[in-house]
Amino acid sequence: MKQTAGQKTESFVALTWKDTLITVGILALATGCCFLMHNGEQANNHAPLLFVLAILLISRFTNSYFYGMFASIIAVVEVNYIFTYPYFHFNFTLSGYPLTFVAMFSVSIVVSMLTTQIKQQEKIRTEIEKEQMRANLLRAVSHDIRTPLTSIVGAVSAVAENHDKLSEEKTLSLLGDVKEEAQWLVRVVENLLLVTRIDADSAKITKAPELVEEVFGESVAKFKKRFPGAPVKIEMPEEALFVPMDAMLIEQVLCNLMENAVLHGGVVSEILLKVRPEGEYAYFFVEDDGVGIAKEVLPRILSESIYRENSENIDGKRNMGIGLTVCQSIIRAHGGIVKAYNRKEGGAVLEFSLPIKEG
């Protein structure tokens, strides 16, 4: 991903009040520390190191090269004018003084440029990952939308063209298929909208302490509307557990994972929801006793490559890619991670973590 001339100029001189305050604050703190540590000797040996550290921090926490360069100039002036003998004077005739000035300036500039460049590269890499995710989503959506639409068109055409020949039972069966496929499309679009919301630069997750037992209950209620016959069991710790989260989004995660168990677990006689607090995180588990996850798929099930390699399941039309992408995006936005593995006794486990304390 190449930067345009305008983008390069903006990354070099972009000025904001926030970055200005950060720069002034760090430089003021470094200056204050140098004054406190100055003991009247001919040179303050701590000053160069403190100001190099200040430049490093400024370059890391501001968004353009300007602040690092500006801090480098200020640091060199302060070290050589205030904290190097003769104090409050520049005297390049003294032995070693010119070398100190040039060395300090060179080190400051190098530190500033390297730190800012590394941060810019991280930003570019993040943008590339987002573009890859969007491309993978388009591949997943093209399959998940095209197949149900084809089925809907076929069923509606059959009813429209043969309404006088079809029995009432057959007509209702075809219309039932249309309803089911339309509901699936609605869920695909909802998941897609959630992904774009979570991955938008301006998106923010609003978290509040939620009682996990209530979140489980709401998730199961929503899930049962689509899969009324699916057996779901809930296991909770004895003490009430509150976890900071966006309850609506976590309910979506749980619904997607339970749906994945039904659609891809084969013959599933039980889905188990449970949570376990441990240290700074609460660990959530969605387990089933189905066929489990194939060994060749397991290492990649949570990566985008799964879209192309496992685009169809046993019924030939249900893609798990978007649902798992939604789960990944939501949990990452909450500061947690998602894992997938098989149970020893058979079946699969999809696990995710959420921080117990608000960050």
**Residue 338 sits in the same domain as residue 221:** yes
Could you tell me if 256 and 323 are in contact, meaning their C-beta atoms sit under 8 angstroms apart?
yes
Domain assignment of residue 308, yes or no: yes
Is the pTM for the entire model greater than 0.85?
no
178 within some domain: no
**pLDDT tens string 238-297:** 899 999 998 888 988 898 899 888 887 788 889 999 999 999 999 999 999 988 888 887
Tokens of 160: 């429209």
Between 32 and 206, the more confident residue is 32
Q: Is residue 114 located within the same domain as residue 227?
A: no
Q: Domain for residue 170, yes or no?
A: no
CATH code for the domain in which residue 298 is found:
3.30.565.10
* More confident call, 4 vs 244: 244
Which among 133, 126, 244 is positioned nearest to 195, based on CA atoms?
133
Question: Looking at 105, 129, 153, which one is the last position of a domain?
Answer: 129
Q: Edge-to-edge, what's the strand order for the sheet holding 338-342?
A: 232-235, 271-278, 281-288, 348-355, 338-342
| Residue 234 CA, distance from chain mean position | 28
Residue 145: name the closest of 179, 187, 193, 185 by CA.
185
- State residue 146's pLDDT score: 76
Q: What does DSSP assign to residue 84?
A: B
Number of domains in the chain: 2
Q: If pLDDT is split at 50, 70 and 90, which confidence band does 211 have?
A: very high
Residue 318 lies in a domain: yes
| pLDDT at residue 316, rounded to an integer | 43
Structural domain contains residue 187: no
Same domain, 107 and 252: no
Same-domain check for residues 234 and 323:
yes
- Boundary-marking domain end, from 100, 129, 158: 129
Q: Dihedral through CA 264, CA 267, CA 269, CA 273, nearest 10? A: -10
Q: Based on the domain organization, do 216 and 352 belong to the same domain?
A: yes
Please give the residue range of the domain that contains residue 30: 5-129
Tell me the pairing of strands 232-235 and 271-278.
Answer: parallel
333 found inside a domain: yes
Residues 94 and 241 in one domain: no
- Name the H helices within the chain: 5-13, 17-37, 46-61, 65-81, 97-162, 168-199, 212-226, 247-264, 306-309, 321-333
Predicted confidence (pLDDT) per residue in 111-132, tens digit: 777 777 777 787 788 777 767 6
Which of residues 182 and 193 earns the better pLDDT score? 182
Q: Is 146 helix (H, G, I), strand (E, B) or coil?
A: helix
